[in-house]
């Protein structure tokens, strides 16, 4: 910003350059944003107007303009529906546990990785743990389905090593929850360490040197320099995650769940998909998804405000 104003001043102070000729009229800039504006209008704003369906009994033959209005009928039905409360709880449970785990585990991993002096080893570890992040949930679900099957490798090992009877990891509600959390950590913990490693690299080395002179052990340095220096980044990451408390990860659950464990494994997004696209209840599904969007929107706005207030974080 500062260099920018300096430039502006020198430009205005130079009499020989006519400003009109160097900074052309902005019509060209409008023209450059135009394609993006058009695509966003069609594929984001037009669907936004489609949420009025939540207040109608949408019939494909009648369209949005012809379908009868029913007010808050779908919302009333939603809140009286016990199953809806159950999946909201499931969603919250999954999302919050994942947020917490994906904050704590990457943080500890980053701290430990920071102690690895051998650069080659450090790089290799990073390469291996970042990889699952880039594989899709289809691939990972395929691996998990095979691995966690009754006769899969995990159950085989459990039987051989500990004599445990095979566990239905994907067929038993409680184990399903465990699998969801665990596999999410597997996919994301490595990638989530990046932001902490970046913050670790930014700590002023003079602090450590001073502690060294005072004879502090590495453990003491960790507790009195490293962790306090990372508090602000933890707060930012944690606050921004607030907007995700209703995002339990559709792709993951969709590819791993079965009707057997709907009670403990179904989430809002998969419910919307089944109600809307499989059962054709467009209006009810839209109402459920609107409810979710409204809460998420509120939380995102609050979380960004908080992140800005606490740590001065801005996206642009």
Among 124, 174, 204, 279, binds other proteins (CB under 8 A): 124
299 and 242 in contact (C-beta within 8 Å)? yes
Residue 84 burial class via C-beta count within 10 angstroms: exposed 0-12, middle 13-18, buried 19 and up:
middle
Assess contact for 166 and 158: CB atoms under 8 A: yes
Provide, rounded to whole angstroms, the least separation between the CB of residue 109 and other proteins: 8
CA distance 30 to 88: 43
Query: Does residue 277 belong to the site contacting other proteins (CB under 8 A)?
Result: yes
In the list 121, 164, 227, 231, the residue contacting other proteins (rule: CB under 8 A) is 121
Stretch near other proteins under the rule CB under 8 A, chosen from 48-56, 69-77, 81-89, 162-170: 48-56
Among 2, 48, 163, 165, the residue binding other proteins under the rule CB under 8 A is 48
Residue from 78, 87, 95, 113 in contact with other proteins (CB under 8 A)? 113
Q: Give the footprint of other proteins on residues 146-205 (CB under 8 A).
A: 146-147, 151-153, 156, 186, 190, 194-195, 198-199, 202
Q: Binding segment for other proteins among 67-75, 91-99, 211-219, 223-231 (CB under 8 A)?
A: 211-219
- Shortest approach of other proteins to residue 219 CB, angstroms? 9
Range 138-157, binding other proteins (CB under 8 A): 138-139, 141-147, 151-153, 156
Segment contacting other proteins by CB under 8 A, of 1-9, 68-76, 95-103, 172-180: 1-9
User: Least distance from C-beta 270 to other proteins, angstroms?
Assistant: 11
Using CB under 8 A as the binding rule, whether residue 131 contacts other proteins is answered as: yes
Token readout for 181 is 């959390």
Closest CA to 293 of 243, 236, 240, 238: 243
Report the SS3 class of residue 111.
helix
Residue 75 Cβ vs other proteins, minimum distance, rounded to whole Å: 15
Q: What residues contact residue 91 under an 8 Å CB cut-off, 6+ apart? A: 246, 248, 267, 268, 269
By the 10 Å C-beta count (0-12 exposed, 13-18 middle, 19+ buried), 255 is classed as middle
Q: Which one of residues 72, 297, 302, 310 is an interface residue with other proteins (CB under 8 A)?
A: 297
Length of the chain: 316
Task: With contacts defined by CB under 8 A, name the span among 20-28, 79-87, 94-102, 162-170 that binds other proteins.
Answer: 20-28
By beta-carbon proximity to other proteins, the closer residue of 97 and 221 is 221
CA distance 18 to 25: 13
Bridge partners, residue 69, by sequence: 56
Q: How far is the CB of 172 from other proteins (least distance, A)?
A: 19
Other beta carbons less than 10 A from residue 167's beta carbon: 17
DSSP 55-74: GB---TTTHHHHSPB-TTHH
Number of residues that bind other proteins (CB under 8 A): 100
Spatial contact of 128 and 193, defined as CB atoms under 8 Å apart: no
Q: What is d(CA 138, CA 141) in angstroms, rounded to the nearest whole number? A: 5
28 binding other proteins? (CB under 8 A): yes
Q: Which of 95, 233, 246, 248 binds other proteins (CB under 8 A)?
A: 233
* C-alpha distance from residue 243 to each of 44, 45, 293, 299 (Å): 20, 21, 10, 5
Backbone phi, psi, residue 261, to 5° = -115, 25
- If one asks whether residue 248 binds other proteins (CB under 8 A), the answer comes out as no
Q: Is 218 in the site for other proteins (CB under 8 A)?
A: yes
For other proteins, which residue of 166, 173, 238, 276 counts as binding (CB under 8 A)? 276
67-96: contacts with other proteins (CB under 8 A): none
């Amino acid at each position: 910003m500062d260099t920018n104003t300096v430039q502006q001043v020198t430009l205005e102070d130079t009499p020989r350059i006519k400003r009109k000729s160097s900074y052309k009229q902005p019509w060209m800039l409008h023209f450059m944003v135009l394609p993006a504006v058009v695509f966003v209008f069609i594929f984001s704003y037009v669907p936004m107007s489609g949420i009025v369906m939540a207040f109608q009994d949408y019939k494909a033959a009648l369209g949005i303009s012809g379908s009868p209005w029913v007010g808050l009928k779908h919302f009333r039905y939603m809140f009286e529906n016990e199953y809806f409360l159950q999946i909201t709880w499931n969603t919250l449970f999954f999302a919050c546990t994942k947020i917490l785990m994906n904050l704590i585990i990457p943080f500890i991993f980053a701290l430990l990785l920071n102690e690895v002096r051998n650069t080659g080893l450090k790089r290799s570890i990073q390469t291996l743990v970042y990889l699952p992040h880039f594989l899709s949930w289809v691939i990972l679900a395929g691996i998990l389905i095979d691995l966690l099957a009754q006769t899969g490798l995990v159950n085989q090992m459990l039987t051989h090593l500990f004599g445990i009877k095979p566990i239905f990891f994907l067929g038993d509600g409680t184990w399903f929850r465990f699998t969801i959390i665990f596999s999410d950590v597997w996919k994301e913990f490595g990638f989530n360490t990046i932001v902490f490693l970046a913050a670790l690299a930014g700590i002023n080395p003079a602090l450590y040197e001073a502690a060294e002179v005072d004879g502090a052990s590495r453990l003491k340095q960790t507790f009195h320099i490293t962790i306090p220096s990372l508090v602000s980044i933890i707060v930012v990451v944690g606050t921004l995650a607030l907007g995700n408390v209703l995002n339990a990860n559709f792709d993951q659950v969709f590819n791993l769940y079965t009707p057997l464990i709907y009670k403990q494994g179904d989430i809002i997004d998969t419910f919307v998909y089944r109600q809307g696209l499989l059962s054709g209840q467009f209006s009810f599904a839209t109402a459920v998804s609107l409810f979710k969007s409204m809460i998420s929107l509120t939380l995102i706005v609050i979380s960004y405000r908080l992140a800005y207030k606490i740590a001065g974080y801005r996206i642009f």
